[in-house]
Amino acid sequence: MTDKQKSKAVIGAGTMGTGIAVSLARAGCDVLLFDKFNSNPEIKYRAEANILRFLAGMRNISRNEIASRIKLWDIDESEYLHQIIACDAIVEAIYENLDHKKKLYNQIRAISNFHDSAPIPIYSNTSTIQCSRLVEGLQDHEYFMVLHFFSPVPMSRVVEFVTHGGTNEETIRLGREMIEKMNKKVATAPDIPGFIVNRMLLPMLQTLGGQLDQLFQAGEGSDWVGFLDDIDKAFKEGTWSENERARAIVGSMIKSASRLLASDNSNDRLPPELEALAFAAGEKPDDLYSQPGVKLSEKEVDEMVVLATGFPAGPFELKRALKEKDLSGHQLKFRMGPGNLADFVGIDVAKDCLQMLKDQEPELWRVPVIFQKMVANRQLGIKSGQGFYSYEVMKEFCGNHATITIEGSVLSRSVIQRLKKEFENLQIRGAAGVILRLEKIRGADICEFPSVFGDHRHLKNLIQEWHELMTTIHNFPKPVIAVIRNSALGGGYELALACDYIVAEKRTKVGLPELRLGILPGGGGTQNLARRVGLPKSLWMILGGEIVEASTPWVDEVVDSATPDYLQNLLEKIGKKPRQAMRLTGNEWAEVSEAQCVCRDKWQGNEPNSFNLALDAICIGTQEDMAVGLKREMEAVLSAFETDDAKQGILYFLEHGKHKFQILASQE
C-alpha cells in the first residue's frame, strides 16, 4: 500500500474529529487533522488535549508513535488545505449544519479539480442528516457516504454505515476497510434522518425535554431538579418501569423502534398505558413514522442500540419484557438516566440534532424550550461544567456560609476559571466564610501540558489564571477552610495551601510531586508552602517531589470526620492567614542551605533542571511580598517548560503512567 493510500484527512478537530483521528492513527494510518487552528488557538489547544486524553486511556500501545501519525493543519490556509489531495479518504466531522457541510464538500471537489486529481471519497460523520440530502448538487456524489461514529470514538464498538443510492463500490469498500481496521463493527443503516441509533436516543431526550417544558408551563418548575433526579435515579437503579415519567421516556424509544420497522402486526403494539405515555409530549400517529424499505430485523436494531449506547437491552427486548410484564429476567439498570445522557452528549448537541431532524421531518420533531434556554445560558452539560447537573465544581449554602466541593477531578483550566468565578460571586453575596472540600484531587490536567510547549504566551496565560484564583482566595474577606479527603496532590494541594486553614481526614495523602515530571509547582505552591511550614520543610517536599500522609505542619488539623457542625464552629474561630514576606536570620539561612544540600544529594546528580528553578523561586520569592513571589514562580515555570527535562518527563508520564525522574528508594 502506498503512502497516499495510508493517509486520511479528518476535517473538524472537536471531540468527535480528534477521536476519529486517534482511532485511525491507532489503526496504522497517517492522519491530517484540519481545523481553524491559526485563527483560534483555543481550538488547537483543545484538540491536542483531547488527543492526549484519548491516548492516556489506552493500554498496551505506543502513545508517542500514535500521536506522531497525527498532523494538525489549518483549514483556512489554501496551501494547507491542498494537502488533502495527498489523502485517499476524507472524514468530515464539522458542526452539524447542512449548508456548512455542503460548502465544505464543494470546496474539496474544487481542489481536486484544480489539481486534476481523481475524486477523493468523502465520509461524513453526521449524526442526523440524510446522506441523500448531503449530496444534493454535489459533483462526483458517487464518492460519498456517511460513517456515523459514536462518542467516545476510540472506545466505541460500532459505526453506522449509510450509503445513498449512487454510492460506488470503491467508496463502500474503503469505508468498510477503515472501520474494520479500527476494530469496530460495521452496522448498515438506512438513509433516513437520524439513521437507527439516534432515532432511538433523540425521542428519549425530546420526551424528557417535553416533560420539563410541561412542568414549567404548569407553574411547577421550582421542583424541576427533584423531578429530573427521580427520573435519572429510576433509570440507574433499574426501577424505571415503576416510574410513570421514566417509563414514558423508555416508551418513546420503543415506539420509535416499532414505527421504524413499520410493522403491520396488530399484536406487535405497546401495552395501551405505555402507548399513551409515549405520546405524552405530543407525538404523531403511526402512519407518519412509517419507513418503507427499511430491511432490518428487531435483533439487528437491538444489537446496534446496545453496542452504540451501552443500554442494558435494545428497544424490542424491552418492549417484549413490558408486554409480558416479566422484567425479572432482564438487567434493566441503565448506566445513566436521560438527564445524565443529555449532559454527556451536550445540551447544545442534543438541541442541534433535534433541530436538524425537525428541519427534515417538521411534523415529527420539536426542540424543547428548556434546551433552547440552557444553550442560551451556556449550560451545555459536562463540557461547560453545568447542564442539568453541576460538574467539576458544586456549591451549596448552609446558613450564611458556602461549601464548594470538587471530587475526583483534575484541575483543568475550566475548573480553575469556574472556581475563581464562584469565589468572586460569594464575595459579592457577602458569604461569612467558605468551606472548600477537596476529595481525591489529582492536580492540574497533565494532558493539557504538551499543548503549551513552544507556546510561551499560552502557558503564561494558564499560570496567570492559577495565580489569579489563588490571589482571589487569599483576598477573600472571610475565612476559607480547605477540607481534604483521600488525597490532594500537586495543584490540588496548592489549592488547599491558598486557604486560611487546612483540615484533612485520616489517611489522606498530600504532596507536590511536580519535580518528578521535570517541572515545578505553578499554582502558588512555591510561595504558600514555605510561608506555612518554613523554608527547610518546603524545600524537602518540593525539591524531592514528596507525597506524605497528612499531618502537621502539612495541614493544620487531622480529624476522623470533618462534619458540618465542626466546620461551622471552626469558621467562627479562625481568622485570615497572613502571607507576608519572610525575613530569615543568618542561622535560619544556614538551615536552608543545609536542607537544599540534603535534597540535592538525594538525587545523586540526576535531579531535573527544574530543581534549581524551584530552589530560586522558593528562596528568593518568599523574601518578597506574595505578588512578587508569584511572579518569581511564574518565571521559573516558564523556564522549566523550555527544558528537555520537562518535555521528556511529561510525555513519559503520559506514555507510562509514572514519573520519569525518581529518587532511589534507599535515598528517600
| Any domain includes 385 | no
Q: What is the DSSP letter of 44?
A: H
Report whether pLDDT(285) > 60: no
Rounded mean pLDDT of 352-381? Answer: 94
Amino acid, single-letter form, for residue 435: I
CA 176 distance to own-chain centroid: 29
Give the DSSP H/E element, type plus range, for residue 195: none
Residue 449: what pLDDT? 80
Alpha helices in 57-96 (DSSP H): 63-68, 78-81
Instruction: Of 27-36, 47-56, 252-261, 517-526, give the lowest mean pLDDT range.
Output: 47-56
Report whether pLDDT(283) > 70: no
Instruction: Please provide residue 637's backbone torsions phi and psi, each rounded to the nearest 5 degrees.
Output: -65, -45
Report whether pLDDT(322) > 90: no
Report whether pLDDT(306) > 70: yes
578: closest CA among 475, 484, 431? 475
* Strand residues in 457-608 grouped as ranges (E): 480-489, 501-505, 509-511, 547-549, 557-559
- For residue 553, whether the previous peptide bond is cis, meaning omega lies within 30 degrees of 0, is yes
Reduced to 3 states (helix: H, G, I; strand: E, B; else coil), residue 359 is: helix
440 and 294 both lie in a single domain: no
125 and 239 both lie in a single domain: no
190: closest CA among 161, 149, 227, 152? 161
Could you tell me the CATH number of the domain that includes residue 555? 3.90.226.10
Radius of gyration of the chain (CA): 28
Mean of all residue pLDDT scores within the chain? 88
CA 619 distance to own-chain centroid: 38
Q: Report the C-alpha gap between 432 and 477 in whole angstroms.
A: 9
Rounded mean pLDDT of 38-47? Answer: 83
Report whether pLDDT(340) > 50: yes
| Any domain includes 421 | yes
Rounded mean pLDDT of 605-625? Answer: 95
User: Domain count of the chain?
Assistant: 3
Reduced to 3 states (helix: H, G, I; strand: E, B; else coil), residue 341 is: helix
Q: Report the C-alpha gap between 211 and 105 in whole angstroms.
A: 39
| Any domain includes 382 | no
573 and 598 both lie in a single domain: yes
Residue 225: what pLDDT? 83
| Any domain includes 459 | yes
Domain boundary among 188, 210, 225: 188
Q: What is the DSSP letter of 576?
A: P
Rounded mean pLDDT of 359-368? Answer: 94
Amino acid, single-letter form, for residue 324: E
Residue 664: what pLDDT? 64
CB contact set of 529 (below 8 Å; sequence gap of 6+): 497, 512, 521, 538, 541, 542
Residue 188: what pLDDT? 93
Reduced to 3 states (helix: H, G, I; strand: E, B; else coil), residue 631 is: helix
Does this model's pTM top 0.85? My answer is no
The winner for highest mean pLDDT among 54-68, 448-462, 533-547, 652-666 is 533-547
503 and 650 both lie in a single domain: yes
145 and 227 both lie in a single domain: no
274 pLDDT tier (thresholds 50, 70, 90) = very low
80 pLDDT tier (thresholds 50, 70, 90) = low
Q: Are 250 and 208 in contact (CB under 8 A)?
A: no
Domain residues for the domain of 536 are 394-656
Reduced to 3 states (helix: H, G, I; strand: E, B; else coil), residue 557 is: strand
469: closest CA among 419, 407, 529, 426? 419
Report whether pLDDT(273) > 70: no
Report whether pLDDT(371) > 80: yes
Cβ density class 628-658: b for 16+ within 10 Å, e for less: ebbebbbbbbbbbbebebbbebbbbbbbeee
491 and 520 both lie in a single domain: yes
Q: How many other β-carbons are positioned within 10 Å of the β-carbon of residue 533?
A: 17
Report whether pLDDT(82) > 60: yes
| Any domain includes 383 | no
Residue 272: what pLDDT? 44
Reduced to 3 states (helix: H, G, I; strand: E, B; else coil), residue 475 is: coil
Rounded mean pLDDT of 391-405? Answer: 82
6 pLDDT tier (thresholds 50, 70, 90) = low
Instruction: Of 234-243, 558-567, 646-655, give the lowest mean pLDDT range.
Output: 646-655
Could you tell me the CATH number of the domain that includes residue 114? 3.40.50.720
| Any domain includes 666 | no
Q: Which residue has the higher pLDDT, 451 or 182?
A: 182
Q: Report the C-alpha gap between 370 and 376 in whole angstroms.
A: 10
2 pLDDT tier (thresholds 50, 70, 90) = very low
210 and 358 both lie in a single domain: yes
HSE at residue 78, side-chain half, CA atoms within 13 A, is: 6
Q: Are 515 and 610 in contact (CB under 8 A)?
A: yes
Sign of CA dihedral 517, 522, 526, 531: negative
Residue 287: what pLDDT? 35
Rounded mean pLDDT of 281-295? Answer: 43
| Any domain includes 204 | yes
Concatenated DSSP letters of 441-462:
E-EE-GGGSGGGTT-HHHHHHH
CB contact set of 613 (below 8 Å; sequence gap of 6+): 520, 636, 637, 639, 640
Residue 337: what pLDDT? 94
280 pLDDT tier (thresholds 50, 70, 90) = very low
pLDDT in tens, 191-227: 999 999 999 999 999 999 999 999 999 888 777 888 9
Domain boundary among 130, 164, 188: 188
Rounded mean pLDDT of 485-504? Answer: 96
Residue 513: what pLDDT? 96
Rounded mean pLDDT of 638-651? Answer: 92
Report whether pLDDT(265) > 80: no
38 pLDDT tier (thresholds 50, 70, 90) = confident
84 pLDDT tier (thresholds 50, 70, 90) = confident
How much helix, strand and coil, in percent to the nearest 5, is found in the chain? Answer: 55, 15, 35
321 and 468 both lie in a single domain: no
Tell how strand 7-11 and strand 30-35 pair up: parallel
342 and 305 both lie in a single domain: yes
pLDDT in tens, 103-156: 999 988 988 887 777 889 999 999 999 999 999 999 999 999 999 999 899 999
348 and 411 both lie in a single domain: no
Residue 666: what pLDDT? 39
Instruction: Of 67-71, 229-233, 392-396, 402-406, give the lowest mean pLDDT range.
Output: 392-396
HSE at residue 553, side-chain half, CA atoms within 13 A, is: 13
Instruction: Of 82-91, 135-144, 627-636, give the lowest mean pLDDT range.
Output: 82-91
| Any domain includes 663 | no
Q: Report the C-alpha gap between 111 and 79 in whole angstroms.
A: 11
| Residue in the structure block whose three cell numbers are 443510492 | 165
Q: What is the 3-state secondary structure (H, E, C) of 105-155?
A: HHHHHHHHHHCCCCCCCEEECCCCCCHHHHCCCCCCHHHEEEEECCCCHHH
Q: How many other β-carbons are positioned within 10 Å of the β-carbon of residue 105?
A: 22
184 and 214 both lie in a single domain: no
End-to-end CA distance of the chain: 53
Sign of CA dihedral 372, 375, 376, 382: positive
Domain boundary among 332, 348, 376: 376
% of the chain beyond a pLDDT of 90:
64
Residue 48: what pLDDT? 84
521 and 464 both lie in a single domain: yes
pLDDT in tens, 573-608: 999 999 999 988 888 899 999 999 999 999 999 999
